[in-house]
Structure 1
Amino acid sequence: MTEQRIGASPAQVKRRRKRLADERAEAGLYRKLAQRREGNDREILNALAEAEERHIAHWEQLLGDEAGPVGRGGVRLRVLGWLARWFGSVFILALAQRAENRSPYDVDPDATPAMAADERVHEEVLRGLAARGRAQVSGTFRALVFGANDGLVSNLALILGVSAGGVAAGTVLLTGIAGLLSGALSMAAGEFLSIRSQRELIEASQPNYDTVEVLEHLDVDANELPLVYRARGMDADEAQAHADDVLARLHGTGRKRGGGKRAGKISRSAAVRLLRGVRPGDVDAGAGDDEPDVVGSAGGAAVSSFCAFGFGALVPVLPYLFGLTGWTAIAVGVVLASLALMMTGAIGGMLSGGPPLRRGVRQLAIGLAAALVTYGLGLGIGGVVG
């Protein structure tokens, strides 16, 4: 290490100082996130902070007396640290996951392969922590983002198409408000029916929980319980062994097929998992008691869709509500809608761990393309009708 310090150029020292500052910022970020969590999540985040201390020690040792003032880390990490202090939500975990994914240690000559591997593992840890939060907000988030985007794009396109036809500003305003209300109601109704139908389909695929009440009355040596597990994908021998185990656990006493003493009686929730085909100690892929509700509430999704669509559809109408007309109203509406499209796209990118700017630009391009096509159609139809 001493030879490396002696031969370090000013550029190398600067880069090492930046790495040290970033690692200190990351360790602080994980500690701030841990303060807002409890139980297992807190332990995991504190363990990540301790892991970053290894990297901090590496850069401190490499710099030695040249460490000096290293600053507070990159702007991205400082912003994440501030957000973690006040929010600590799934969005912050998703952004932290992306920050780990962008680690430069794969190409940094001063970083060890173990450090680069650590960063990849940290990304997977954060991906797992964020996954539960993503599942919990997926239904509402989908309704909010899709509703806002639909409102922005559809009403912007509608207003531009009507404006291109040469109608008066009052007519454009009335059309925009009508599009807002009709679209919001349509979105709410569609989201309600979609979530309700999805929940009914999922429930239809789950075991009938009332069956648990009668399982203990089955004849141990003659029953069709193995067929339940074969229908869910097990082979014949595996299904038979699992059925024997389920009955042994449910009865609690007496003879088990092939001899042996049965285990103690289990709870109804455990019996339901066994009926689903989940062995003790396995991860339950079904809708267990502790699993997040990934579908969400139909009523909540409907309200979210109505409000989100209404907000999005209101944006291109605002210039007309404030008395603007003609090209001025069109230009202001397009600018406002463009900013809103960028924002919703960036939010979606943050939650999914993708690049926010790229997602925002993609959203903007799609929305403006739809609006321009409608505007062109309005010009053509206006010319024919006129």
Structure 2
Amino acid sequence: MPTPADPGPGVPADGATEPAHPTDVPGVVGQRRSVRDVRRWRRYLADERAEAAAYRDLASRRTGEEREILLALAEAEGRHEQHWLDLLGADVGRPLPGDRRTRTLGWLARRFGGVFVLALAQRAESRSSYGTDADATPSMAADERIHEEVVRGLATRGRNRLSGTFRAAVFGANDGLVSNLALILGIGASGASTSTVLLSGLAGLLAGALSMGAGEYVSVRSQRELLDASTPSPQASAALPDLDVDANELALVYRARGMSAAEAETHARDVLDTYTAQTVIAPAPSGDEHETHGTALGAAVSSFLFFASGALVPVLPYLLGLSGFVAVAVASGLVTLALLATGATVGLLSGTSPVTRALRQVAIGLGAAAATYVLGLVFGATVG
């Protein structure tokens, strides 16, 4: 994870001193120990300490298996810390703070510890420079790659719990921002009065929010019903004692669920040989599928509220009494800020670049609104 900045030639910063052993690196025969090397190692050391502390802080907010996994990650960072301590020897100097990103991660871990923090940790692990640093061992570079996957797995649990409602919230907010801005700009460009623009914006807010809420409820409810229809029937287990072992039609169940004919025959015979009253044909869904899609009511309410809040943003200038080009400029500016925020949030949660996702949201949103504005100008000119 550590990615120290190149300090450049000259005297080391942050209180570093000239190397105590300027000829060789301890344990690495024949390799000269430069001021730059010492500074880089001290930065690595500071980052490893900060990362280990962040994982311990995250572990303190969890229980069970997740806590054990996070503590194991902190222990692994401690092994990396020891590597840099061994290299530095007498040049370890006073402790340095971790880099800005690592310190931010630690601060968030101490105060929040949710899926957003895990997503940040996942992204931080992906930035490790150990793979290209000759002073880091291959096992350390491999550790960092595996750490990224471990954190990704932990973050995925939280993403699954959030994704249904979160998807509805993000989609609702962005749809409200873009659709209502496009509506207001299109009507305003056609030459309509300020009161007409305001009324259209409020009508678009209410109609869109109701439509989004109803649509999300039907969508999520239908998806859950499809998942329920795929859940094995518990009554089927009652038929197991009466099955003909030679015909073994139970094998057809497993073949229908994706096993090969040979695997299905073997598994079905094993099930019948070890049958108990608790035996079931196939395990019921764990609930992850339902968590991924969220509850129908939760998605509907979230979509309604976030669409309404997004659609309100471009209406605000008109509610405050602005009109004409000033209202258009203010509405566009407010929507741009909101799109930047939602795009960055999606980027953080997905473990990707928040800047890239934010700019993508702005480009798509303002592009759609600009197209509608041009159509409004054309329509207004035609009518006139």
State the match for 2:345 in structure 1: 347
**Deviations, residues 314-341 of structure 1 (Å, cap 9, x unaligned):** 1111111111112221111111111111
Question: Within 2, Cα distance between the matches of 1:88 and 1:185?
Answer: 34
Q: Is residue 36 from structure 1 mapped to residue 61 from structure 2 by the alignment? A: yes
SS for the counterpart of 1:21 is helix
Question: Within 2, Cα distance between the matches of 1:335 and 1:364?
Answer: 11
Task: Using the TM superposition, name which of 359-368 and 59-68 deviates more.
Answer: 59-68
Task: Using the TM superposition, name which of 299-308 and 318-327 deviates more.
Answer: 318-327
State the match for 2:138 in structure 1: 113
State the match for 1:4 in structure 2: 25
State the match for 1:133 in structure 2: 158
The letter of the residue matching 1:245 is D
Question: Within 2, Cα distance between the matches of 1:292 and 1:147?
Answer: 20
Task: Using the TM superposition, name which of 138-147 and 160-169 deviates more.
Answer: 160-169
* Cα offset, 1:156, TM superposition: 1.1
Question: Within 2, Cα distance between the matches of 1:71 and 1:57?
Answer: 15
Question: Within 2, Cα distance between the matches of 1:83 and 1:292?
Answer: 29
- Residue segments in structure 1 that go unaligned for 5+ positions in a row: 251-264, 279-285
Q: 1:287 aligns with which of 285, 288, 297?
A: 285
Question: Within 1, Cα distance between the matches of 2:85 and 2:41?
Answer: 9
* Cα offset, 1:7, TM superposition: 3.7
State the match for 1:199 in structure 2: 224
* Alpha carbons 2:73, 2:147 under 8 Å: kept: yes
The letter of the residue matching 1:336 is L
Q: Is residue 229 from structure 1 mapped to residue 254 from structure 2 by the alignment? A: yes
The letter of the residue matching 2:352 is G
Task: Using the TM superposition, name which of 19-28 and 105-114 deviates more.
Answer: 105-114
State the match for 1:81 in structure 2: 106
* TM-score normalised by length of structure 2: 0.89
**Deviations, residues 51-110 of structure 1 (Å, cap 9, x unaligned):** 001111111222222222342211111111111112111111111011000111122232
Question: Within 2, Cα distance between the matches of 1:289 and 1:374?
Answer: 43
**Deviations, residues 271-297 of structure 1 (Å, cap 9, x unaligned):** 33xx12x7xxxxxxx612687622211
Report the CA distance shift for 1:378/1:20 in structure 2 as closer, same or farther (over 3 A). Answer: same
* Alpha carbons 2:248, 2:268 under 8 Å: kept: no
Task: Using the TM superposition, name which of 84-93 and 290-299 deviates more.
Answer: 290-299
Question: Within 2, Cα distance between the matches of 1:97 and 1:244?
Answer: 44
State the match for 2:301 in structure 1: 303
* Cα offset, 1:42, TM superposition: 0.6
**Deviations, residues 198-238 of structure 1 (Å, cap 9, x unaligned):** 11222222222221233233343444211111112222222
State the match for 2:323 in structure 1: 325
**Deviations, residues 140-180 of structure 1 (Å, cap 9, x unaligned):** 11001111111111111111111111222221111111111
State the match for 2:49 in structure 1: 24
Structure 1 ranges of 4+ moved more than 4 A? 289-292
Question: Within 2, Cα distance between the matches of 1:310 and 1:291?
Answer: 28
State the match for 2:369 in structure 1: 371
Q: 2:310 aligns with which of 309, 312, 322?
A: 312
1:268-279 to 2 correspondences below 5 Å: 271-272=279-280, 275-276=281-282
Question: Within 2, Cα distance between the matches of 1:266 and 1:210?
Answer: 12
State the match for 1:255 in structure 2: none
* Alpha carbons 1:135, 1:292 under 8 Å: kept: no
State the match for 1:257 in structure 2: none
The letter of the residue matching 1:187 is M
State the match for 1:254 in structure 2: none
Question: Within 2, Cα distance between the matches of 1:239 and 1:44?
Answer: 35
Q: Is residue 216 from structure 1 mapped to residue 273 from structure 2 by the alignment? A: no
The letter of the residue matching 1:308 is F
Question: Within 2, Cα distance between the matches of 1:376 and 1:289?
Answer: 48
SS for the counterpart of 1:149 is helix
Question: Within 1, Cα distance between the matches of 2:109 and 2:290?
Answer: 23
SS for the counterpart of 1:4 is coil
* Alpha carbons 1:346, 1:360 under 8 Å: kept: yes
CA RMSD between the two structures = 1.9
* Alpha carbons 1:30, 1:46 under 8 Å: kept: yes
* Alpha carbons 1:18, 1:70 under 8 Å: kept: no
Report the CA distance shift for 1:123/1:150 in structure 2 as closer, same or farther (over 3 A). Answer: same
Report the CA distance shift for 1:298/1:290 in structure 2 as closer, same or farther (over 3 A). Answer: closer
Q: Is residue 175 from structure 1 mapped to residue 175 from structure 2 by the alignment? A: no
Q: 1:91 aligns with which of 88, 105, 116?
A: 116
* Cα offset, 1:32, TM superposition: 0.3
Q: 1:123 aligns with which of 145, 148, 158?
A: 148
Question: Within 2, Cα distance between the matches of 1:266 and 1:73?
Answer: 58
SS for the counterpart of 2:242 is coil
* Cα offset, 1:41, TM superposition: 0.7
SS for the counterpart of 2:25 is helix
State the match for 1:51 in structure 2: 76
SS for the counterpart of 1:37 is coil
SS for the counterpart of 2:293 is coil
Question: Within 1, Cα distance between the matches of 2:197 and 2:143?
Answer: 57
Question: Within 2, Cα distance between the matches of 1:291 and 1:167?
Answer: 48
